[in-house]
Chains A and B, each alone.
Chain A
Amino acid sequence: MSAIQSMNMPITTEIPTAPNRLWILTIATVIFTALGFVFAMFVAKTDVNQGDIQRIFYFHMPSFFGALFGFVATVIGGINFLRTRQTRWDNLALAGVEVGLALALINLATGSIWARPIWNTWWTWDARLTSAAIMCLTYAAYLMLRGGIENPEKRRMFASVYGIVAITTAILTLVIIRIVPSSIHPAVIGPSPQNAEGAFEFSQNVAMALGPNFIIWGVLIPLTLIWWRIRLQNRVDVVNLRKAEALSE
């Protein structure tokens, strides 16, 4: 109770209801996700070299940027929490990690599924794949370590610092194919490394399917999920406060 009060948390026991803007955003996200699926499956043509599996790219690459969106939110939340000690920033950081990790797992799993028919293996210890796996493990560790700290103030402090430092794994994953020329992972923007396998031509219909899905999976979905996750965390805080009040009485 004292720990919660010491953090400038708004002392309210009102359960917040979702605003109309969030519902509009959610409905728009669902509609656009369906549209993005249609673009990926029916507008984009089948890649003659890779076959239908190439379509997974329209979810694989945008989901990485969606994960990055979440992890950047964690950095913003972490920095602002350290500056202001307001729990809402910590809630943003936590939501960013959860959503980012879910999207990073989608990115990792779809990459592995793509690799099976194209590289003839589910997994290889390539620089990009390894750094992506490290990124996922780093953020999974964030959640586990956070859950292991009892004191809320220490937990939030630790999580803020960890969340800020952990973004390096995401940035490293993004740029590693430029740093390690032996990578076989193809680049999407700009020329691929000389050993890249499975690159494809960035044609107009690829761009038509990738553009919408980039916005959907890279911005809309993480934004919507983060917003809902923050609201859930706000509710957790309110319920915890009520529990504390009930126990103190």
Chain B
Amino acid sequence: MKKILLLLCLLAGFIVPISAQEEEPETTPTSLPPIPYFVAENSARKFNVPLPFDWENASTDPNIAHFTHPDGLGDIYALSVDVSDPLSAVQNAIRQVLGDDVTLTSRYSGQFQLDGNDWGKFAFVADSGAITAFTQTRNEAVYVVFYDYPKTDHEFYFMAQNVVQTEEPQAAVLIALKSLYPELPDAPQSEATVTLSNGDWTRQMYETDASPVVALWQRRGAVVYIAVENGDGTVVDGVNKALFTSLFGFFVTPQNLDYLWLGLAVTFGIALIFVISLFARHRSLTRDEALVRELMK
């Protein structure tokens, strides 16, 4: 009975500190509903892509994300490729999804940094339309997410460009746009501010000898995000900003299984050492006891 009471006292000892933790400060119920993610099933090559609002998950392969827009705004794909070179990986990924016979003409390629990770950025003109691709290289694999814009009469791309903290974002926007359209003038013909639910965006129109170029951009931290179209801007104006979430919210689950094994080894190792020490002390006592018996004799 006393032992049971003792056990109850020990368990009661938890109540005070646990209740101290449960004192939650007031929280405002303003958190957004969770974004649905496609999560690749391959545990060694696990990646995650947010499904944009109004888009449908048309994935059939558990390791290839495929989102499609019901109004034909395009398709988003994400997959991992076991090729170390990002450009080759993007081309492999596009051909794996769209078919080996697809013709790809590179429009630009480059790198940028986002959340401490190195990203690759690519644009292609394909038979099916304009393709924007982003890559992350991790653990000898390249993770590719690409957006396939289906119309072939004009181009529509997403871009990202690092901007120095002290620099005006306009300079970075111009660098990005000129990598696609070198003939672009240094100043836009018109500029307006567009307010979307995630803040103010800048809409600029540049006149060129061919068709006009319309860019919609926003700076967030050290990155400026751009949607660009060589047309009258109807696609840019109608673009679902959630697409940015999908393309740049794409992330790779880190592979750190080695650290888990280390942690388990330490956990069970310390427990085992303690048990072994009990055994060792028990044996030592047994020897002492035998010695005492000898002395007693």
Contacts and interface: CB of A to CB of B under 8 A. Distances in A.
Please indicate whether A and B come from the same complex rather than being unrelated chains: yes
A225 B271 CA distance: 10
A70 to B, nearest CB: 9
Which residue, of B39, B253, B262, B292, has the highest number of chain A Cβ atoms within 10 A? B292
Nearest to A72: B13
A50 B254 contact: yes
A109 interface: yes
Nearest to A167: B13
Contacts of A65: 14
Interface stretch (A127-135, A139-147, A151-159, A184-192): A184-192
A113 B21 contact: no
Given A48-B48, A190-B24, A221-B271, A53 B256 contact: yes
Interface stretch (A2-10, A170-178, A204-212): A170-178
Contacts of B295: 246-247
A109 B271 contact: no
Interface string B204-242: 000000000000000000000000000000000000000
A162 interface: no
A48 B39 contact: yes
B292 A48 contact: no
A116 B260 CA distance: 11
A52 B278 contact: no
A104 to B, nearest CB: 10
A114 interface: yes
A109 B285 contact: no
A52 B271 contact: no
B292 A171 contact: no
A246 B295 CA distance: 6
Interface in B236-293: 251, 253-257, 259-260, 262-264, 266-267, 270-271, 273-275, 278, 281-282, 285, 288-289, 292
Chain A contact-residue range equals 35 or more
B168 interface: no
Contacts of B13: 68-69, 72, 75-76
A110 B264 CA distance: 8
A109 to B, nearest CB: 5
Interface string A31-57: 000000000000000111111110110
Given A48-B37, A68-B17, A109 B266 contact: yes
Contacts of A116: 259
Contacts of A48: 37, 39, 46, 48, 251, 253
Contacts of B274: 98-99, 102, 225
B24 A191 contact: yes
Nearest to A218: B14
A189 B21 contact: yes
Interface stretch (B2-10, B177-185, B195-203): B2-10
Q: Chain A contact residues: over half helix, strand or loop, or mixed?
A: helix
Contacts of A175: 17, 20-21
A161 interface: no
Contacts of B7: 223
A156 B177 CA distance: 78
Contacts of B20: 174-175, 178
A199 to B, nearest CB: 13
Nearest to B19: A189
Interface string A86-100: 000000000000110
Contacts of A114: 259, 263
Contacts of B48: 48
26 contacts: A46-B43, A48-B39, A48-B46, A49-B253, A51-B46, A51-B256, A53-B256, A53-B257, A53-B260, A53-B263, A55-B260, A68-B17, A73-B10, A75-B13, A98-B274, A99-B274, A105-B270, A109-B267, A109-B270, A117-B256, A174-B20, A191-B25, A191-B27, A218-B14, A243-B288, A247-B295
Interface of B: 6-7, 9-11, 13-14, 16-18, 20-25, 27, 37, 39, 43, 46, 48, 251, 253-257, 259-260, 262-264, 266-267, 270-271, 273-275, 278, 281-282, 285, 288-289, 292, 295-296
Interface of A: 15, 46-53, 55-56, 59-60, 63, 65, 68-69, 72-73, 75-76, 98-99, 102, 105-106, 109-110, 113-114, 116-117, 171, 174-175, 178, 187-191, 218-219, 221, 223, 225, 228-229, 232, 235-236, 239, 242-243, 245-247, 249
